[in-house]
């Protein structure tokens, strides 16, 4: 018998048997360890807000919340997810460059939300927030998202110092005298800056933090509003590829805690917020597909599996023109020696459907389980799950040694349910006579 991948003592072959493939498998212990390390090592005043964008599964949000995370959301569904997961409205911020009137209303309605802060991304949005709040007879708590003049190197996707649809330019805000009192139904109360994603440099995190705290203080001072919250963004990365290495959280803490300490001492009532998506969820998840066919073509080996980039677009290679492979293993035969290079492909009718290119793996046979590790962030929700109408994969979360199905795979009827033939009210059913 070969060694096989296990999560909390549960064997991958048993899980695949019980829940079918393809599926995403999450380890609740990993989520726990991530949150615990952050809470133990980072400054006690720094609150971690989970960016649901990275993994919108309600059970993941609920577990992270149980371990101390609050929520950062960007749509009605994400807001509803955070609420269903038990996050109090006072621990939710709502952000996004294109918020609708309905989203702003939901942020302000006490029965559906009444979020802690709307993070505002434009002067036009600020006017709409004022209008929607006035209709409700409330005053909206608003933090300004700033597009800063500075840029800090070290992020996979840099945000500052460039024309962006996100936030309001620092220079425009500096010149916006009277902004704090411009709208009667808006209460400016905070500043948010997000410097980019996939940051793998401890010094970049520290430099961002220092500059953001300074910027927040300057802006609140010049515009004349009390700093109830500073959201220093986040964007901490995890290593996916050979040439990358994981962040050293102890090093980050050693660099930013003194900055936060100094700031906290002079701002005893200001909430300090860090938004994290990938850093919380990536390591907890493995995407698992079962090999259907093996074949060779012009000297190369192919393993064709039951799921591919339709569920895991990021595995195609993020932010790079050269294909770089996520960590990939044959999960049911971990201890077998490498015997050759394999292309791991999925069921789509496009050559781009390649999870792994020339990956050194043991000999693959039909029925083997292929795992793509570090896949708990930006998985199905950031993939074309409806391409070729295969639908969303199942998601399974292991908590306290028990595997829970936390999302059913889509069935064909799920994909057809919202479609209509002209003249019919629902698929297959004729419209009732008038």
Ligand X SMILES: *Cc1c(COP(=O)(O)O)cnc(C)c1O
Footprint of ligand X (CB under 6 A) = 51, 53-54, 95, 194, 197, 233-235, 275-279, 377
Q: Is the CB of 282 or the CB of 355 nearer to ligand X?
A: 282
Q: Is the CB of 141 or the CB of 277 nearer to ligand X?
A: 277
Q: Is the CB of 94 or the CB of 225 nearer to ligand X?
A: 94
Residue 53 Cβ vs ligand X, minimum distance, rounded to whole Å? 5
Q: Is the CB of 16 or the CB of 95 nearer to ligand X?
A: 95
Residue 54 Cβ vs ligand X, minimum distance, rounded to whole Å? 4
d(CA 28, CA 280): 11
d(CA 269, CA 266): 9
Q: Is the CB of 374 or the CB of 390 nearer to ligand X?
A: 374
Q: Is the CB of 89 or the CB of 167 nearer to ligand X?
A: 167
Residue 159 Cβ vs ligand X, minimum distance, rounded to whole Å? 8
d(CA 395, CA 144): 36
CB atoms near residue 229 (< 10 Å): 22
Q: Is the CB of 190 or the CB of 277 nearer to ligand X?
A: 277
Residue 275 Cβ vs ligand X, minimum distance, rounded to whole Å? 4
Residue 49 Cβ vs ligand X, minimum distance, rounded to whole Å? 8
Residue 367 Cβ vs ligand X, minimum distance, rounded to whole Å? 34
Q: Is the CB of 233 or the CB of 346 nearer to ligand X?
A: 233
Q: Is the CB of 206 or the CB of 369 nearer to ligand X?
A: 206
Contact present, 103 and 132 (Cβ < 8 Å): no
Residue 212 Cβ vs ligand X, minimum distance, rounded to whole Å? 12
Q: Which residue is nearest to ligand X (CB)?
A: 277
Please, which residues bridge with residue 317 across strands? none
């Amino acid at each position: 018998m070969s060694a096989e991948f296990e999560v909390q003592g549960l064997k991958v072959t048993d899980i695949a048997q019980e829940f079918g493939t393809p599926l995403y498998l999450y380890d609740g212990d990993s989520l726990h360890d991530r949150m615990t390390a952050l809470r133990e090592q980072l400054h006690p005043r720094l609150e971690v807000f989970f960016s649901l964008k990275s993994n919108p599964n309600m059970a993941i949000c609920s577990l992270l919340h149980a371990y101390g995370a609050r929520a950062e959301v960007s749509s009605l569904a994400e807001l509803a997810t955070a609420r269903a997961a038990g996050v109090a409205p006072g621990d939710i911020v709502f952000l996004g460059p294109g918020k609708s009137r309905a989203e702003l209303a939901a942020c302000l309605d006490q029965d559906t939300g009444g979020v802690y802060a709307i993070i505002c991304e434009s002067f036009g949005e600020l006017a709409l927030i004022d209008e929607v709040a006035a209709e409700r007879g409330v005053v909206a708590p608003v933090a300004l998202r700033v597009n800063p003049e500075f840029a800090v190197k070290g992020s996979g996707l840099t945000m500052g110092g460039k024309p962006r649809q996100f936030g309001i330019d620092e220079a425009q805000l500096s010149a916006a005298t009277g902004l704090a009192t411009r709208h009667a139904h808006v209460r400016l109360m905070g500043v948010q800056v997000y410097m980019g994603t996939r940051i793998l440099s401890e010094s970049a995190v520290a430099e961002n933090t220092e500059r953001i705290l300074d910027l927040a203080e300057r802006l609140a001072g010049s515009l004349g509003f009390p700093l109830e919250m500073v959201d220093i963004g986040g964007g901490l990365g995890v290593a996916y590829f050979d040439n990358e290495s994981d962040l050293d959280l102890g090093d980050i803490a050693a660099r930013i805690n003194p900055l936060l300490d100094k700031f906290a001492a002079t701002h005893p009532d200001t909430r300090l917020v860090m938004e994290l998506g990938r850093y919380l969820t990536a390591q907890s998840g493995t995407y698992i597909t079962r090999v259907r066919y093996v074949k060779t073509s012009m000297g190369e080996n192919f393993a064709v599996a039951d799921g591919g980039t339709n569920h895991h677009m990021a595995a195609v290679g993020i932010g790079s023109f050269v294909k770089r492979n996520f960590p990939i293993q044959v999960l049911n035969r971990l201890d077998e020696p490498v015997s050759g290079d394999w292309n791991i492909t999925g069921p789509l009718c496009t050559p781009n459907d390649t999870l792994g290119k020339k990956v050194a793996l043991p000999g693959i046979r039909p029925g083997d389980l292929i795992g793509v590790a570090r896949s708990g962030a930006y998985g199905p929700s950031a993939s074309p799950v409806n391409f070729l109408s295969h639908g969303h994969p199942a998601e399974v979360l292991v908590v306290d040694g028990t595997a829970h199905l936390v999302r059913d795979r889509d069935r064909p009827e799920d994909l057809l349910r919202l479609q209509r033939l002209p003249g019919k009210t629902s698929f297959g059913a004729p419209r009732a006579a008038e």
